[in-house]
Amino acid sequence: MSKTANNTAVNSFNSNHSLYDQFRPSFTPILVNPFLVELGLADQKGDKFTFKTDKKIVEIACGTGKFTKNLIDNGWISNLTVVEPSKGMLETFQKNFPQIENVINASSYKIPLEDNSVDAVLIAQGFHWFADDESLKEINRILKKGAKLGLIWNFDYSSPSQDSNAEDSKFYNDGSRYFNNLDQKGNNQRVFENFFGNQKWNEEVTKYIWGFDVNVPQYRHGKWRQVLLNNNYFKKDISDSFALYDKLTSKEDVWKYWETRSYITDLSIDKKEKIKEHVETIIDTYANPDSYDPETKLLIKPMVLHAVVVTVNK
């Protein structure tokens, strides 16, 4: 009997898909475009990109289309198929992108597509939910020989998911005021610990919220990386790229952002209200004049976008 999509993920995203769409970050073209080049989906000459929209893409766990927008903006319509197990997510997705016809309500464990029929599989902000041999076997099945799997996440703090060498990674600046002082040497976990340390309020809020993450798979746990290094379906040629940026946010939206997490969505209303109050207390305690953007007066939240590419083994 084949596995099914994680119930916590499906149930929470069924209920919070609108908030997710509103408060989760998008994916910057500064990293997405070279990511597509590495996946064999685009060519680059200087600063110009040409997208190979004749290539067939499958985006698994498309959610509300936060990443899909980049593909559509780059010209993919008929050669794009999206797969998503949450009907709630698909409800918002289809409102956002009615022009996409190839929409499948399914999981990574059973993709109703032919063998060797796809040029690339992309997964944005989702692979940690199904990082296992069963998923990789199914993704391997639909990919053509020599094709690639691309994974991409926005993240908030240093974790085992960045357990790789900075010297082997690519770094992009998407307008972060802290980029020029980044020491791109050693282990990436250390690199990003220093980067996120530029805003103590964000560091403390993130660590506090992570304390409620005890039962569900998350990007930050790093299990997905170990799965990629120990399977027979993809080569162990993990490529890491990072884009650093500063997200500007109001104090109120800090909580709204974290409220979209599955392990927070699952909590009672009273519990969520107490967490919200504590998040605001942390901000009041640790935010200082340097925590605010001088023009907008909004809080500065350091963020990183992480892209990973691996090649199918067949």
Instruction: Output the pLDDT for position 273.
Output: 95
Q: Tell me if 162 sits within 8 A of 221, measured CB to CB.
A: no
Spell 25-53 as b/e; 16+ CB within 10 A means b: bebbbbbbbbbbbbbbbbeeeeeebebbb
Give dist(CA 248, CA 241) in Å, integer.
23
pLDDT digits (tens, 9 = 90+) for 234-250: 999 999 999 999 999 99
Instruction: Output the pLDDT for position 265.
Output: 83
Instruction: Output the pLDDT for position 25.
Output: 72
Instruction: Output the pLDDT for position 13.
Output: 46
Instruction: Output the pLDDT for position 58.
Output: 98
Q: Which domains does the chain possess?
A: 7-180+217-245+303-311 (3.40.50.150)
Instruction: Output the pLDDT for position 14.
Output: 47
Q: Tell me if 154 sits within 8 A of 305, measured CB to CB.
A: yes
Collect all residues with Cβ–Cβ distance below 8 Å to 240 and sequence separation of at least 6. 162, 164, 168, 169, 170, 188, 306, 307, 308
**Which segments within the chain are labelled E, that is strand?**
42-45, 48-51, 57-60, 80-83, 103-104, 118-124, 143-155, 170-173, 239-249, 299-311
pLDDT tens string for the chain (314 positions)? 456 554 544 444 444 445 555 656 779 999 999 999 999 999 999 999 999 999 999 999 999 899 999 999 999 999 999 999 988 889 989 999 999 999 999 999 999 999 999 999 999 999 999 999 999 999 999 999 999 999 999 999 999 999 999 999 999 999 999 999 999 999 999 999 999 999 999 999 999 999 998 778 899 999 999 999 999 999 999 999 999 999 999 999 999 889 888 788 878 999 999 999 999 999 999 999 999 999 999 999 999 999 999 999 99
Instruction: Output the pLDDT for position 253.
Output: 92
Instruction: Output the pLDDT for position 24.
Output: 62
Structure-block tokens of residue 117: 């029929």
